[in-house]
Structure 1
Amino acid sequence: MSRTVFRAVTGALALVAAAALIPLGSHAWAAEGGVVIGGQPAHVKDSPWVVALSSRDRFGESRAGQFCGGVAVAPKKVLTAAHCLSRAALGVDVASLRDLRVITGRDALLGAGGKEIPVREAWANPGFNPITNAGDLAVLTLAEALPEKSVVPMAGSGDAGYAPGTEAAVYGWGDTTGNNDYASSLRAAKVSVLPDAACAQAYSGGGSGTYDASTMLCAGELLGGYDACQGDSGGPLVARGRLIGLVSWGDGCAKAGSPGVYTRISAAIGWMPGAG
């Protein structure tokens, strides 16, 4: 039986970034390939809203404590995946994590420049269902405001970015091969938004998870090769200059017939706190 995975690094799991970032769910967590599978190097100067979540206490110094991705949607607000803040991922309750930070303005996790900003408050969607993966979203409030240029607008319902066939890009520092080969510098992969019918067919229930178009969207290539992977969870999926999804879960990384699944931003805009 195939195993659905969240795309985040958790206690005993290291996030994997594939060529196209793979969404995380209660199964496998996302990463990047080629670093972000099928991807290429990316630069924060071109996508300043991409951030990394860090806790050296929980994940060590080697990659600056990076364990998930995130995206700035307001000067003091960062969105990420709810599963990234779970006890399963962190090994402790997020409320007791004293060194939770957001790394911003830095391509290389251990590079010079940028900032590591403490998280003042962490809100994980209480409606997140780790069995169905629905509602996989969290909001972080930063202790220091980011510049306005470091914020990406969110795509509301009816935005053209959600149309099947739209070209999008996923970003992260996750696993680049699916074999625990984590990226040390930011990567991005081009993927296509896929029709809900194709996603529902790929994830029709059972061991691979169930796709719910009301809260999720999927992207990648049905033949595989581009996807998110472990370590990419919570990272942004951007189309037409707007945020349309967060890396959430998927069946493996960049597998044919198993596209990455993302939290649908338009479904969450109305109820997420203070992200506007």
Structure 2
Amino acid sequence: MQQQLKHVKRAAVLGAISIAALGSMPAGAVAQTKGPSPSASIIGGTRAAEGEFPFMVRLDPVGCGGSLYADDLVLTAAHCVKASGPDTSLTITAGSVDLKSTAAVKVKSAAVYKAAGVPADWALIKLAKPINLPTLKIAETTKYNHGDFTISGWGSTSFGGDQQRYLRKATVPFLDDAGCAASSWGDEGDFYPGKQICAGGGSAGGVDICNGDSGGPLFRKNDVTDRWIQIGINSESACGHPGDPGLYVKVSTYAAKIKKEAARLHG
């Protein structure tokens, strides 16, 4: 079991996966480092409806997910990007659950801010031009860190499986710090209370992020407005291994810094 987990964690996806190859090209080996190889897919989920999560975006060629923080900014995982500074290497696809749809919008990246150090696995991508789609508000407090969360992405539906053409979704329950610390994340010293949040990981396993979902949001409905709010960023997973939850950046911890860097990128 431990050997399997070593190959699953940091659910980083093979780079250079073209959209044309989706559904036919294997996701590749999972990286065991914390470098900029993409991560995590939705295991045990179902296909999302068109327009259900309009803030979801895909990053290629790295094969990560992300969310629209603003019409010209994407929030994603730090290990999905190379470094802070000008960067035109990424193509952002949005506007459809089908990555090959003629309705999908494709925009190039212009610049990147990459947070430094573990466990600050978050980054912002400035787009070359705005995307006219709804954005996803981030949580600025921990008041929503409870209940059930939604995960969504175009990653594989099993460890080592294919990337998906169509967006998928699943529901995972909040796991408190004690539960997360009792999992293999805590055993291996990979869990940072206060800076990360865990979700899923029941004894049956089978519902989780996996290869290709890194950078995507962990989100739920706002209790007051009934609008989606982002609680976490997909960072690492055990791809549905029983007892091991998905590990996410706790957005509220970094909300002030995210807002500051977003303002700086807007210039």
Task: Determine if the TM-score, normalized by the shorter chain, exceeds 0.5.
Answer: yes
Relative to the length of structure 1, the TM-score reads 0.78
Q: CA deviation at 1:43?
A: 3.1
8 Å CA contact 1:68–1:232 kept in 2: the answer is: yes
Residue by residue over 1:111-167, the C-alpha shift from the partner in whole angstroms, topping out at 9 and shown as x without a partner, is: 221211111111111x222xxxx00000001122223x51011111132x202xx11
Per the alignment, residue 268 of structure 1 pairs with 254
Quickly say closer, same or farther: Cα 1:25–1:138, change in 2 above 3 A.
farther
Q: CA deviation at 1:181?
A: 2.4
Q: CA deviation at 1:211?
A: 0.8
Aligned pairs for 1:204-243 (under 5 A) are 204-206=186-188, 209-223=189-203, 224-240=205-221, 241-243=228-230
Q: CA deviation at 1:221?
A: 3.5
Corresponding position: 1:158 with 2:139: no
Quickly say closer, same or farther: Cα 1:25–1:217, change in 2 above 3 A.
farther
Residue by residue over 1:201-232, the C-alpha shift from the partner in whole angstroms, topping out at 9 and shown as x without a partner, is: 112243xx421121100111422111000110
Percentage identity across paired residues of the two chains: 29
Number of positions where the alignment pairs a residue of Structure 1 with one of Structure 2: 239
Q: CA deviation at 1:179?
A: 2.8
Per the alignment, residue 247 of structure 1 pairs with 234
Aligned pairs for 1:189-208 (under 5 A) are 189-202=170-183, 203-206=185-188
Relative to the length of structure 2, the TM-score reads 0.81
The one-letter code sitting in structure 2 at the alignment partner of 1:40 is: T
Q: CA deviation at 1:31?
A: 3.3
Match of 1:257 among 243, 246, 249: 243
Match of 1:51 among 47, 52, 57: 57
Match of 1:128 among 99, 117, 122: 117
Residue by residue over 1:34-84, the C-alpha shift from the partner in whole angstroms, topping out at 9 and shown as x without a partner, is: xx11100013511110000013xxxxxxxxxx6100001111111000011
Quote the RMSD (CA, aligned, Å). 2.7
Match of 2:13 among 9, 13, 17: 9
Quickly say closer, same or farther: Cα 1:270–1:25, change in 2 above 3 A.
farther
CA distance in structure 1 between the aligned counterparts of 2:88 and 2:156, rounded to whole angstroms = 26
Aligned to 1:270, the other structure's residue is in SS state helix
The answer to which of 240-249 and 94-103 deviates more is: 94-103
The one-letter code sitting in structure 1 at the alignment partner of 2:108 is: P
Aligned pairs for 1:176-195 (under 5 A) are 176-195=157-176
Q: CA deviation at 1:100?
A: 0.9
Corresponding position: 1:38 with 2:44: yes
Quickly say closer, same or farther: Cα 1:190–1:81, change in 2 above 3 A.
same
Q: CA deviation at 1:244?
A: 0.3
Per the alignment, residue 71 of structure 1 pairs with 67
Residue by residue over 1:91-121, the C-alpha shift from the partner in whole angstroms, topping out at 9 and shown as x without a partner, is: xx68686441210102111222121111111
The one-letter code sitting in structure 1 at the alignment partner of 2:74 is: V
Unaligned 5+ segments in structure 2 are 18-25, 222-227
Per the alignment, residue 62 of structure 1 pairs with none
Unaligned 5+ segments in structure 1 are 17-23, 56-65, 87-92
Q: CA deviation at 1:29?
A: 6.2
CA distance in structure 2 between the aligned counterparts of 1:41 and 1:106, rounded to whole angstroms = 12
CA distance in structure 1 between the aligned counterparts of 2:49 and 2:111, rounded to whole angstroms = 27
Aligned to 2:186, the other structure's residue is in SS state coil
Q: Which has the higher contact order (CA 8 A, sep 6+)?
A: 1
The one-letter code sitting in structure 1 at the alignment partner of 2:153 is: G
